[in-house]
Amino acid sequence: MRVGTAKQSYAADEGLFKTDTQKVWFGLLLAALVLFPLNGSSYWMFLAVLVMINVISTTGLNILTGYTGQVSLGHAAFMAVGAYTVAFFDGRFGTPVLLNLVLAGAVAAGIGYLVGLPSLRIKGLYLAIATLAAAVILGFIFLNWTPVTGGLRGLNVPTATIAGIELATPDRLYWLVMPITVVMVLAAKNLFRTRVGRAFIAIRDRDISAEIIGISLFKYKLMSFAISSFYAGVAGGLWAYLFRVVTPESFPALASIFFLAAVIVGGAGTIVGGIFGAVFMTLIPEFLKLSATALVPWFPDASIYLAPVRNIIFGLLIIGFLIFEPMGLAEMWRRTRRYFALWPFRT
């Protein structure tokens, strides 16, 4: 049993890592991330890259929905903005990869700022509907602004090239995506140790009180929209380098629900929850695909049912977690840790 962790200074109390144990675990996680490519399977490398892209995007939505309390139904559209930005700049001008990614984030953040503007007037569910409308309008732009977006055919994305090395395959791309993911997730974690992050949380918990104590709702809500969209834009840019083609079909409306589901299932308002949710929700379809393949000897057409069953499971996960575990996987994880930390006592 671990007795409470006494802090000797405010700095220690507000630290990113509260205990040495956490530092050790984080070190182990980093080591695992570095050693992961040793497994050598390109399928797993592809999955790992996809999971990390989704982790970035989910963390972004978590900042907006989980921490600031603004539900967005347009998150995938911001990813699409990032993906198109990368495709446009890399394809048209051949600008360096990292610059493209920053541009992707910046353009998405700018548009996110605009989409956040209605939050000046409306909130809660009305705002969610406004983001849905924004996503529909963005989808229209992707489809019809042919000179820039390539219309229905979309855009092809050149191979990402850093310092002369072509990152053509997922196992090379991993070394671009993994550090970016680590940095962005850590940045998100740090954000909530700052004034800005605390303002977000205050707005989520009680917006009127937040305004009374001097938080400019307008400024911080828009900031939250912009930061969240920045994450989505960077994730979308990486997505473009992974799949090498962007079309209006790449980010359907259902994808926004995917990220919302990831935030809910993982645990809204915790960074680790965003990670859990993204990993879990990305791996479920793969798991279903594997089980469908395994069932083929008995049910030859098992793969036909894959897509509908995936939809049903996505939906049931959202509903089930909201009803039975509103705090998500992160809360289950916390309870498990607590059980071992307090053993042999029970709570």
Binding site for another protein (CB under 8 A): 69, 71, 73, 118, 120-126, 128-130, 132-134, 136-137, 140, 143-144, 207, 211, 217, 254, 257, 260-261, 264, 304-305, 307-319, 322-323, 326
- Write the CA distances from 172 to 45, 175, 344, integer angstroms: 9, 6, 46
Nearer to another protein, 122 or 162 (CB): 122
Residue 61 CB partners (closer than 8 Å, separation 6+): 72, 75, 228, 231, 232, 259, 260, 262, 263, 274
Q: Cβ of residue 269: shortest distance to another protein, in angstroms?
A: 13
Instruction: Write down the least CB distance from residue 163 to another protein, Å.
Output: 43
Token couple for 235: 């994730």
CB closer to another protein, 94 vs 124: 124
Q: Which C-beta is closer to another protein: that of 170 or that of 266?
A: 266
Query: From the CB of 207, what's the least distance to another protein, in Å?
Result: 7
Complex with another protein: residue 182 or 332, whichever CB lies closer: 332
**Is the Cβ–Cβ distance between 78 and 135 less than 8 Å?**
no
| Amino acid at position 225, single letter | F
Q: Which two tokens stand for residue 211?
A: 């305004």
DSSP string, 112-174: HHHHHGGGGT--THHHHHHHHHHHHHHHHHHHH-HHHH-GGG-EE-PPEEETTEEE-SHHHHH
Smallest distance from another protein to CB 93, Å:
29
| Minimum gap (Å) between residue 86 Cβ and another protein | 25
**Of the two residues 254 and 296, which places its CB atom closer to another protein in the complex?**
254
